[in-house]
Every structure is written in C-alpha cells, then in structure tokens.
Amino acid sequence: MPVLNRAAELQEEIAEWRRHIHTQPELLFAVEKTAAFVAEKLKSFGVDEIVTGIGKTGVVGLIKGKGPGRTIGMRADMDALPITEQTGKPWASTVPGMMHACGHDGHTAMLLGAAKYLAETRNFSGSVAVIFQPAEEGGGGGNEMVKDGMMERFGIQEVYGMHNMPGIPVGQFAIRQGPIMAATDEFKITIKGHGGHAAMPHLTIDPIVAGSQIVNSLQTIASRNADPLQSVVVSVTKFNAGFAHNIIPTEAVIAGTVRTLMPEMRDLAQKRLTEIAEGVAKAQGAVADVYYDRNYPVTFNHAEETQYAAAAAGEVAGSTNVNAEVAPVMGGEDFSYMLEARPGAFIFIGNGDTAGLHHPEYDFNDEIIPHGISYWVKLAEDRLAG
Ligand code: NI
C-alpha cells in the first residue's frame, strides 16, 4: 500500500506548518512558541486530551479510537540548533544564530499531520498519544518527560520515534533491531602541573606535555582495549592551555566525547579513560582530575516493536524500500530515555539528497511529509487494529 491519499492531500497544509515553525526556531526547553502552535493545532483537530508543560515545555495529545484497547506513543522533537542559517529559503529562520538544522520542524509538522488524520478517522481501537518533546539537542527533554510521569499518566505501553536522514532516498526507511544510535558521554580532564619560565622547564611540571601524552594514549582505548568487533569512539575535541609563548602554564584542560553501542564498551571506555588520564599524568609528576558524565543512553530498538515499525514502513514504501538492517549511527538521540521506559522502536526516514544534519544549508525536505504521515497512521492502525 503506497502513501495514503489523505496524507498526500494534506501535504501542502503540513508543509506550511513546517515552514512556519522553521521561521521561528527555539532552543532546548525554550520552545514556548512551537509548543503553543502544537497545542493550538491539536485543539483544532478535536484531540481528546491535550496536556502542556510536561517535562517543562513538552506537549502530549491523546486521541481515542472507536473502542477500548492499548495505548501507543508516537514522538516528535521540537527544538532547533544554535547555527546561523544559510539556506536562502523564503522560510529561513528569522532569529539570528538559530535554525532548524536537524529537521525537528518537519518531525513536529508530520506528527501534527498524523494527529489530524487520526482524529478525523479514528479507525483504531485504543489510544494514540502524540508526544512533542523539547530539548533533544542537549538537555534531555525526553528524559524530563519520562521523569514527569508521562508514560503512567497516559498509560503509554509502547513508544515510537522517527528521524529524517539525508542520504537515504525519499520514500525509503531504515531501521535495525538492537542499538541504532550511540550512548553519548562527555569527559573533561584537568591536568595540574607546576608552571614557570619556558626557558627553565626543569623547574616546572609541564601540563601541556602531560596532556599531549594523554591525548595520544586515549587513542589506545579503541585500538588496543576494545574488542575489534565492537564500536567505540573516543574524540578529544578541546585542548586548552597557556597564554604566553614564554610561560609554561600550571594547568591544561582536555575535553571530548565517548560514543558506544553496548554497556560493556561504555564501562570499559570510562574505566580506561580514567586510568590512562590519571596514570599518564602521574608518570609526568602531574595530577589529572577526571570528570566523566554519562549523557544520553544507547537508543535501543526492541525486537518485536522493530518488526511492527518495519512492517508499517513496508506498507507505505514497499518492503524493498525498507532497510531493516541499517548500520547504527554513532550520534546520540534522547528518545533513548523513552525506549528505556517502554518497549518501542526508532526509525529513519529518507530526506533525499540534501545537506547533512546540523549543517547551515540543511533544510527538511517537504516531499517526505506524506511518507512520514502515512507511516505514523499505518503504525497506529496496525498496532491498534480492533
Ligand atoms: Ni535531530
């Protein structure tokens, strides 16, 4: 079954909503305008229950079917990024230094489109909770909504998420069972030495030399400590030290990120990073203070729900257009918190040949709107078939 006719009819209207959201990007939890727009639309569709302010600025709408049954959650994210837009599109951001560079404008608009369709037709038994979350790009808005009791409050039994993916053709989907996106941890290593004159290094403990050796040694976590068949990324992205050409500073700070797909690798990376930083610093006579923060967990797709998601995508796109064994992505996603709370699945929808996510020239592809809406509708109608 291809794209639903009604979803195709809705495309222009949904694209207008998407472009409207695109003009007024908002960051993290400060998505008040977008949340208000979402709540107002849900109200106009006759959604049965609308609750705002969940997880600070999240919105949930509950759409009841024609009879009793289970409740599934379908989630979109609403926040933008601190990037200056360079698309030159008529609907480009009107807010300096902010833009929808990850397509969350499109995710929100597509889920609104599905809500409109489902509220019109109600061709299912049970309920659909449409979830609009803040602060996906840092801040853990998904986690805040879970902590706010969203799953219990709406009786949500399964959760599904969707993200657009540049490079995957329009009309195609990709998913996999198990880990699909990485755990995203952050670290900061402060190396304390003993500063002094650059011409008298023997009277100092140089934190830059110690730090350089730490940066090099951290490369051995992936190359020497991790099972070669497992995925680990350790990237040092900051190295700050010093202020003059003739002074050895007292302190150096190194920071970066660790990405993993399995809990054992996450534990290993944290343990080795700490041991290496402390041990290498000590060998230089310096001291390393290691701060390690476990950020978003692995986005883990549950087996059964992945099959339901792939089947719904297959009904829309044709099974040959659904890659059910896509390689995981080492980026992170805070839908992971919802998948820790309830079984579910996260799917990628092709955005076609566009600029990459988080790029200043990226724009959500409005052509994929009917595919996205049809996926949500088929998933709801299949999982809640009366
Ligand atoms: Ni995103």
**28: domain CATH number?**
3.40.630.10
What are the E-state strand segments in the chain?
49-54, 58-64, 67-77, 125-133, 158-165, 173-174, 178-181, 183-192, 196-197, 232-241, 247-248, 251-260, 287-296, 299-301, 322-323, 344-350
Distance 365 CA to ligand 1 centre (A): 14
Dist. CA 107–CA 134, nearest whole Å: 12
Judge if 314 and 224 occupy the same domain: no
Domain boundary among 262, 281, 296: 296
Q: How far is the centre of ligand 1, averaged over its atoms, from the C-alpha of 230 (Å)?
A: 25
Q: Which of 263, 296, 329 is the last residue of a domain?
A: 296
Is residue 288 domain-shared with residue 341, that is, in the same domain? no
Last residue of a domain, one of 251, 272, 296: 296
- Letter for the amino acid at 327? A
Q: Output the CA–CA distances (angstroms, integers) from residue 85 to 24, 222, 352, 355, in the order listed.
A: 12, 35, 19, 12
Sorted by sequence, the CB contacts under 8 Å of residue 185 that are 6+ apart come out as: 257, 258, 259, 260, 266, 269, 270, 292, 293, 294, 295
DSSP code at position 51 = E
Is the distance from CB of 236 to CB of 220 less than 8 angstroms? Answer: no
* pLDDT confidence of residue 7: 78
Contact (Cβ atoms closer than 8 angstroms) between residue 313 and residue 173: yes
* DSSP-based three-state secondary structure for 170: coil
Q: Are residues 314 and 278 in the same domain?
A: no
Residues 60 and 168 in one domain: yes
216/231 Cα distance (integer angstroms): 19
Do residues 290 and 258 share a domain? yes
Output the CA 255–ligand 1 centroid distance in Å.
23
Contact (Cβ atoms closer than 8 angstroms) between residue 255 and residue 234:
no
Which residues keep their CB under 5 angstroms from ion ligand 1? 102
pLDDT at 231: 96
What amino acid positions are annotated as catalytic residues?
79, 136
**299: three-class secondary structure by DSSP:** strand
Same domain, yes or no, for 308 and 195? no
**Rounded alpha-carbon distances, angstroms, from residue 296 to 146, 181, 203, 332:** 13, 10, 43, 7
What is the model's pTM? Answer: 0.93
Residue 146 pairs in a beta bridge with none
- Four-point Cα dihedral 2, 353, 309, 265, nearest 10: 170
Which of 344, 338, 342, 335 has the alpha carbon at shortest distance from 312? 344
Q: Name the token pair of 265.
A: 């690798």
Please tell me the distance between residue 187's alpha carbon and the centre of ligand 1 in angstroms: 22
Burial of 123 (0-12, 13-18, 19+ CB in 10 A): middle
Q: Edge-to-edge strands of the sheet including 67-77?
A: 49-54, 58-64, 125-133, 67-77, 158-165, 344-350, 173-174, 322-323
Angle between helices 303-317 and 369-383 (to 10 degrees): 130
249 plus 265 within the same structural domain: yes
Centroid of ligand 1 to alpha carbon of 294 (angstroms) = 19
CB 255 within 8 A of CB 186: yes
CA of 275 relative to ligand 1 center, distance in Å = 33
Cα(102) to centroid of ligand 1, in Å?
5
**R_g of the chain computed on alpha carbons:** 24
Contact of 77 with 133, CB cutoff 8 Å = yes
In a shared domain, residues 346 and 361 = yes
Ligand 1 centroid, distance to 137 Cα (angstroms): 7
81 with 176, same domain? Answer: yes
Q: Are residues 159 and 212 in the same domain?
A: no
Q: Range of 255's domain?
A: 183-296
pLDDT at residue number 5: 84
Mean pLDDT by 10 residues, the chain (386 residues): 78 97 98 98 98 98 97 98 97 98 98 97 97 96 98 98 98 98 98 98 98 98 96 97 97 98 97 98 98 97 98 97 97 97 98 97 97 97 93
Q: 76 CA to middle of ligand 1, Å?
A: 10
CA distance 90 to 20: 11
Domain with residue 290: its CATH number is 3.30.70.360
Residues 168 and 235 occupy one common structural domain: no
Q: What is the domain count for the chain?
A: 2
pLDDT for 386 equals 75
221 and 132 co-located in one domain: no
Q: How far is the CA of 201 from the centre of ligand 1 (A)?
A: 47
